[in-house]
Amino acid sequence: MDEKTDTQTGRLHLMNLITQIIIQVQELTLLIWRVVRGLTRRPRYWGETIRQMDNLGFGSLVIILLTGTFTGMVLALNSANTLQKFGVQSVTGQLVTTSLIRELGPVLTCLMLAGRVGSGIAAELGSMLVSEQIDAMRALGTDPIKKLVTPRILALVATAPALTVICDFVGVLGGLLISITLLHQPASVYLASAREAVDYNEIIGGLIKPTVFGFVIACIGCYKGLSTTGGTVGVGRSTTQSVVASSIMVIAVDFLLSKLIISLLLEP
Amino acid sequence: MTKNFNAIEFQDVSLAFGDRVVLNRVSLQVRYGESKIVMGGSGTGKSTLLRLVLGLLKPDSGRILVDGEDVTDYNEEQMMTVRSKIGMVFQEGALFDSLPVYDNVAYRLREQKVPESTIESVVMRMLRFVDLEDAVEKMPNELSGGMRRRVGIARALVGNPKIILYDEPTAGLDPITARTICELALKLRDLEEVSSIFVTHRLQDMEVLANEYVIRDDAGNLIFEHEGDRLCLINTKFIMLKDGDIIFSGTDEEMRLEDNPYIRKFLA
């Protein structure tokens, strides 16, 4: 009897979870639709978009520089040992560059953005919601989607690829530093090898990913912030959920995009 | 064509959140120039009433008319026009944390792209009205609770709305500051002929709003007088809400004669 009740309760929980997920996807889709529809109508908050680009994008520069540099250094260090066993240590630059442009640059940059920016957006909008600032905005005749959500999405879609390029660049320099100082490889060898890894398709593929990731992070951050319930505790919950959901989505979408980019751009 | 005398009208409005009925077939009218004081315990649907007027919530059934216009089925864009006729004073002020007092008060005008010279004169006039000219450069976190509410009132008054909604503007304030807020409401009612819904559960507010009025003498000074032989206030009516139902509607004198145990307990 107890076993049967447990099974029924388990099913009920599962159904609740599935229903919750469907509702959240529906609400998120609706939010995105309102953003897209709002793009064609006035007013447009370009000033606010620039401010958000500065705040979300330029404000993340330091952590992206550090992430890129250390990733490049670690990549060079680890790969050089393995490559040495096969006598091809000279392609260290190529390996570091390809790894960064294709995968690590976009993913690590956007995971950092999910942590810093996604959480910030959710916390800010969540706080505004629980302190009735969003209602006040609506009462004063402003559409919060246009004023708050659209500028943040546009800002992140624009700055995530730019930050990724910077991450890739400093990563390659980090690898160069390790090649020269620890692996005692001439800079010219490393750079020549790195240059071989760079072609148009790789770069396009490496820019598509952060653009999509930026969109995903901003949408999830805004959605979680605007669906905050339960006062200040709820703000904390929304912030955590935003980081977790955006990080998972970045990795999941990365897989799908990688498959797509390889099929469309990189396969001979 | 019948002449419309009502600034706000509710016709059989019902609203429930899940199983909890918040408003149950509520009908009320606020005439032009009239103040409706909505009283009742916590969770009886007082603030919900105001949110329905602003279109921040939609009723499950019934009709809502603002300035003679049926706004029940209006979408967000259509509501923006309606909201320009309404000023809302939120419970905690709901000031925008990131903006100084000046920018908070100027918010609506900036959204309407009004020239900066006009904005400055309007903002200073509104801040003078609430006696906060000196706080113009302060940030909301530097203000006391009473000052925040007064800035909230100044912000709500921008654009000269003929309808003002007060959501417990005196909650949690000391008697002197609460009295200042009530005096501002009296000035708007008696000198500007603003129609309003004033949500409160404080008897002290009821005493001030029901028994006092303000006039301007020949020298332009404001004089607060008590209702008495010289004048009988007919522009202030009361509503008592209990569990989503209106259990009383009338003047303060009528309310004091009520036998309803809930009202007796409330007035005790």
B54 touching A (Cβ < 8 Å): yes
pLDDT at A262 over 70: yes
A131 touching B (Cβ < 8 Å): yes
B148 touching A (Cβ < 8 Å): no
C-alpha angle with apex B142: B42 to B185, nearest 5 degrees?
Answer: 50
Ranges for all domains in chain B classified under CATH 3.40.50.300: 6-85+163-267
**Residue range B174-193, pLDDT digits in tens:** 888 888 889 888 988 888 88
Q: How far is A139 from chain B (nearest CA, A)?
A: 6
Choose among B164, B207, B180: nearest CA to B35.
Answer: B164
Q: How far is A198 from chain B (nearest CA, A)?
A: 44
A136–B88 CB contact, under 8 Å: yes
Nearest to B94 among A131, A141, A143 (CB): A131
**Residue range B58-90, pLDDT digits in tens:** 999 999 999 989 999 998 888 988 998 999 999
Residue B259 burial (C-beta neighbours within 10 Å; 0-12, 13-18, 19+):
exposed
Chains A, B: CB contacts within 8 A come to 50
Task: Note whether B8 and B196 are within 8 A (CB).
Answer: no
Task: Note whether B36 and B197 are within 8 A (CB).
Answer: yes
pLDDT band at B2 (very low <50, low <70, confident <90, very high): low
**Residue range A206-252, pLDDT digits in tens:** 999 999 999 999 999 999 999 999 888 999 999 999 999 999 999 99
Q: Calculate the alpha carbon distances from B220 to B160, B191, B215, B217 in Å.
A: 20, 12, 9, 5
Q: What pLDDT score does A146 carry?
A: 93
Q: Which residue, chain included where needed, has tokens 């007919």?
A: B234
A135–B96 CB contact, under 8 Å: no
Which strand (E) or helix (H) includes residue B54?
helix B46-54
Task: Note whether A155 and A56 are within 8 A (CB).
Answer: yes
**Residue range A51-75, pLDDT digits in tens:** 999 999 999 999 999 999 999 999 9
Domain ranges of chain A: 46-266
Residue of B83, B105, B157 for testing the chain A interface, max A β-carbons within 10 Å: B83
Q: By CA distance, what is A132's nearest residue in B?
A: B94
Give the CATH fold of the B6-85+163-267 domain: Rossmann fold (3.40.50)
**Residue range B80-119, pLDDT digits in tens:** 889 989 999 998 889 999 999 999 999 999 988 899 999 9
Return the number of other C-beta atoms located less than 10 Å from residue B44's C-beta.
Answer: 21
Q: How far is A141 from chain B (nearest CA, A)?
A: 5
